Amino acid sequence: MLLEKRDMNLEMREEGMAWHYTHYDHNKRLGEVEKEARENRIGLWSDPNPVAPWDWQASGRLKGPANKHRK
């Protein structure tokens, strides 16, 4: 995604604010910058046990009063 000629996908991963979902995206550069962010414990990688969004969703944590509109 470009915003004012900036690659926001790349920038979000550089800042440790997004996961590189390699199942659908095979961009090696995104993987490299995510690896750097992980190694430098930037953003979400500062958490010792970050949980990928797809794992969090699969765990059923979306169920409950706050998300009763979801099935």
pLDDT, the chain, mean: 84
Element (DSSP H or E) covering residue 12: helix 8-14
pLDDT at residue 34 greater than cutoff 90: yes
pLDDT at residue 69 greater than cutoff 60: no
pLDDT at residue 59 greater than cutoff 90: no
Residue 54 vs residue 3, higher pLDDT: 54
Number of domains the chain contains: 1
Tokens of 20: 């590189």
How many whole angstroms separate alpha carbon 68 and alpha carbon 71?
7
Show the domain range for 38: 2-67
With a CB cutoff of 8 Å and minimum separation 6, the contacts of 14 are: 33, 36, 37, 42
CB-based contact 10:30 (threshold 8 Å): yes
Whole-model pTM: value is 0.70
With a CB cutoff of 8 Å and minimum separation 6, the contacts of 70 are: 62, 63
pLDDT at residue 30 greater than cutoff 60: yes
